[in-house]
Amino acid sequence: MNSQFYVTTPIYYVNAEPHIGHAYSTIVADVLNRFYSLAGFETFFLTGTDEHGDKIVSAAENSGQTPKEYVDRISGLFRTLWPKLNISNNYFVRTTDPGHQDTVRFILNRVNENDDIYFSEYEGLYCFGCERFYTERELVDGKCPDHRTEPEVIKESNYFFRMSKYQDWLIDHIRQNPGFIRPERYKNEVLSFLKEPLEDLCISRPKSRLKWGITLPFDENFVTYVWFDALINYVSAVGYPDGEGFKQFWPSAQHIIAKDILKPHGIYWPCMLKSAGIEPYQHLNVHGYWNVNEGKMSKSIGNVVRPLELVDIYGLDAFRYFLMRDMVFGLDSEFSEEGLVARINADLANDLGNLVSRSLTMVCKYFKGELPEPGHSDAADEELRIATLELVDRYEELMKGLGFHKALMAIWEMIGRLNTGQIGY
């Protein structure tokens, strides 16, 4: 029996064009998917777009389109980008897909039947940019940490998910499964957040305020709040509840996300799964930000790196190599075009290029351009053979642990050794 591997990217919110952060998450998922596939696993690789919420409605209005026309267009940008970056996803999920919407309603009903949903009035601090309520202690100087604007006080009745009920279970689960959230720093971040009492999660918006969403199956005057819609894509895309894909792939699920969405993925999502009677995912893999000009990249700051422009100039494999080699998975990295060029020159043109060029030259010069059968091997050859086999083991271990830059460094150590070693001629 084959082993399975299921990897997901976040579903990207379609209020802006794809940037390097989207490209990085998706390339990491692609690299893992190819690695497991080569290792003989049956793999499933999912990406997609998140298409509901009031930010979409206002973005659509700004571009003079209906929400549906707008999400079709922006979602299309993502779908046409991925093949150009050699992304090998098996499926592209959209939260406006009828199948996804059915699954969301199915899970809402199940959670509701489990007495985990209640109706209540709520007054809170709301950031319209984030489409969510903030607690006082989450604010920075009274402002949204992302938008640096003051949230507004909003009072309305809504449906709530009894997330607090699962707090102790979640803490135990994280402690008993060390790789559940990784790298370690993000596991610790979630555990430290869980030291405070967990609040219940508001999961609806009244239709008077937002129409562009999935109607609640138990109250047609409300639509589902974005996270209770978006997160469910990871199971709807593989056919939950009855699909074979779900049974086959969900037990091996690994999510790739950037650290800005740690809380929904590290806290809301496992609690939602538990309430719905679904086993939690295997791993939540969290990466840092690509900082451009020493600040978090954002469209408003005007330093967005467009992946395709770089690929046109430097080539796709060089671009992918740079992203995997220069970021320590989990930490922030500095992005600069100079850094990309330096990496290409040193690693690809110089180290790897020299090795390939020297090897080809020798094959032409000494063996008439035909690769000969291995001849007599001396001690140096044998040492090299053993080192290469060890490299394969080390590489596999590093890749499974998300140590992409170290896996590449290990290969480049060997390249360096072959370049400088006294081998034969």
Is 127 a known active-site residue? yes
Tell which positions 370-399 bind Zn ion, by CB under 5 A: none
Between 167 and 298, whose beta carbon lies closer to Zn ion? Answer: 298
Based on the shown chain and the rule CB under 5 A, indicate whether residue 139 belongs to the binding site for Zn ion: no
**CA distance to 34, 185, 275, 303, per residue, from 326 (Å):** 20, 19, 40, 19
Cα distance from N-terminal residue to C-terminal residue, the chain: 47
- What would you report as the CA-atom Rg of the chain, rounded to the nearest whole angstrom? 24
Q: Between residue 65 and residue 84, which ones bind Zn ion under the rule CB under 5 A?
A: none
Kindly tell me which of 15 and 236 has the beta carbon lying closer to Zn ion: 15
CA 300 to chain centre: 22
Number of helices (H), then strands (E), in the chain: 17, 16
Q: How far is the CB of 260 from Zn ion (least distance, A)?
A: 11
Annotated catalytic residue 364: no
Q: Which residue, 141 or 244, is less far from Zn ion as judged by CB?
A: 141
Under the binding rule (CB under 5 A), the answer on residue 168 touching Zn ion is no
Closest CA to 21 of 257, 182, 331: 257
Closest listed residue to residue 331, CA positions, set 300, 367, 287, 375? 287
- The token duo for 390 is 């060890």
CA distance 180 to 266: 9
Residue 330, helix vs strand vs coil: coil
Structure tokens at 368: 């008439």
> Which member of 34, 147, 173, 263 binds Zn ion (CB under 5 A)?
147
Which member of 55, 144, 187, 406 is catalytic?
144
365 catalytically annotated? no
For residue 59, state whether it binds Zn ion (rule: CB under 5 A). no
| Residue 230 DSSP class | H
Rounded to the nearest 10 degrees, the angle between the axes of helix 269-276 and helix 167-176 is 110
Residue 261 touching Zn ion (CB under 5 A) = no
Tokens encoding 341: 């060029």
Residue in 85, 87, 111, 127 binding Zn ion, rule: CB under 5 A: 127
The window from 29-37, 122-130, 178-186, 198-206 that contacts Zn ion (CB under 5 A) reads: 122-130
Which among 147, 165, 207, 400 is annotated as catalytic?
147
d(CA 329, CA 187): 14
Residue nearer to Zn ion on the CB measure, 154 or 364: 154
CB of 139 to Zn ion, least distance (A): 10
Note if 19 is an active site residue: yes
Could you tell me how many residues of this chain bind Zn ion (CB under 5 A)? Answer: 6
Residues 143, 165, 173, 296: which is the catalytic one?
Answer: 296
Window contacting Zn ion (CB under 5 A); options: 141-149, 240-248, 286-294, 321-329: 141-149
Catalytic site residue 271? no
Question: Rounded CA gap, 248 and 270, in Å?
Answer: 19
Question: What is the rounded CA–CA span in Å between residue 237 and residue 243?
Answer: 9
Let me know if 144 is a catalytic residue. yes
Q: Which stretch binds Zn ion (CB under 5 A): 34-42, 75-83, 138-146, 285-293?
A: 138-146
Per DSSP, which regions of 305-424 are E strands?
Answer: 333-335
Is residue 144 part of the contact set for Zn ion (CB under 5 A)?
A: yes
Q: Which of 76, 95, 94 is nearest to 223 (CA)?
A: 95
In the complex with Zn ion, which residue's Cβ is closer, 48 or 53?
A: 53
129 lines the binding site for Zn ion (CB under 5 A)? yes
> Which one of 146, 150, 184, 390 is in contact with Zn ion (CB under 5 A)?
146
Q: Going by DSSP bridges, is the β-strand pair 219-224/204-206 parallel, antiparallel, or unpaired?
A: antiparallel
CA distance 307 to 187: 30
Interaction of residue 130 with Zn ion, rule CB under 5 A? yes
Minimum distance of Zn ion from residue 88's CB (angstroms): 34
Minimum CB–partner distance for residue 129 and Zn ion (Å): 4
Note the residues at the interface with Zn ion (CB under 5 A).
127, 129-130, 144, 146-147
Q: Which residues are catalytic?
A: 19, 22, 127, 130, 144, 147, 296, 299
